[in-house]
Structure 1
Amino acid sequence: MSGEPLGRRQRQDALSRTALGVFRLNGQFLAVSEKLAEPAGLTAAWWQVLGAVLPQPLPVSGIARAMGITRQSVQRIADLLVREGLAAYEPNPAHRRAKLLAPTEAGRAAVRRIDPGHAELAALLLRELGGQEAFDETVRVLERLSEALETVSGEFRTPEA
């Protein structure tokens, strides 16, 4: 047995299990999102970007920040959405060069076609999790984990080899 304190191994195991669980969840959400989006003529990624701009137009960098992915990935998807007529670039009064991405009526209609399947999946998850209170707690835990990781990622430094 190594000389490592048990607490250190427990923390590392908890981190590994958390990461693996989140990676698995990510894959599961992507798979179900593809199923939900396909009948609307969207991909999960297109739906994700359109969903980010439904409340209000945003610059590509703002979408990327909200989604936790690279600006380049969002830019590629945004350009495809514009080419397909599902979104449009609008002038940004706050920044001349960083245009805002906004959904078109066709983009809004495509997202609306996802709503029935989205509502059904939400109801199924609500039942499986044991009710609204448990579902809300699940959301709070995931949001807290994301906030915590964002906070500590600025403090974390890779040890020298």
Structure 2
Amino acid sequence: MNYTEQTPLGSALTGMILELFKLHSRVLASGDKLVAPLGLTSARWQILGAIIAAGRPQPVAWLARDMGANRQNIQRIVNDLEKEGLVAFESNPHHRRAQLIVLTDKGKQTFDAAMRLQAPWVNELSEGLRIQDIETMREVMLALRGKLERNTDIAEES
């Protein structure tokens, strides 16, 4: 195969992206293990968190957009959460078919329990790291995400 030659910067970014893939898998597996006793997975926990972060009831499509995820995947998980009594659907006065998603009391309690487990886990995980390095990495990830989102928006307009 004939690959286009990468610049040194492109090569470094490729290495970081490959490590991000591995890190993502490890974070999800660790999160799954952490919240399994609560009947959650990382994906379910993330959706509960997105509902709380939204600050007001939103339809699935908006949650998916905010999470940078596929609407159909989020819908499937929200349906499972609803069956387990963690979320409920409310009518949307602005759109008849796009129901709003709200946490139930059980959902709030479950999310709170997950966050009580998360605090010691993340505190231990962060030991030995420098806050400046974490903040720099976050800035780099935000910049890359912004570029990818702009490229996606341009591609969708074409």
TM over 0.5: yes
Matched with 1:149 is 148
1:69 Cα deviation after fit: 1.6
In structure 1, the gaps of 5 or more residues are: none
Q: TM-score, normalised by structure 1?
A: 0.82
Distance in 1, Cα, partners of 2:101 & 2:122: 28
Cα separation, partners in 2 of 1:75 and 1:48, compared to 1, 3 Å: same
The TM-score, its normalising length taken from structure 2, stands at 0.83
2:26 maps to which of 18, 21, 28: 28
Identical aligned residues as a percent: 35
CA distance in 1, matches of 2:101, 2:8: 45
Aligned residues: 152
- In 2, the alpha carbon distance for the partners of 1:11 and 1:82 equals 46
**Structure 2 residue aligned with 1:63:** 63
* Selected match of 1:18 from 16, 19, 31: 16
* Separation of aligned partners in 2, 1:137 and 1:105: 37
| Matched letter for residue 140 of structure 2 | V
2: CA distance, partners of 1:154 / 1:17: 26
| Letter matched to residue 101 of structure 1 | I
Secondary structure of 1:129's match? Answer: coil
1:114 Cα deviation (Å)?
A: 1.3
CA RMSD of aligned residues (A): 2.3
Structure 2: which amino acid aligns with 1:32? S
Alpha-carbon displacement from aligned partner over 1:9-52 (angstroms, at most 9, x marks no partner): 43442342232122112101111110221121111111111111
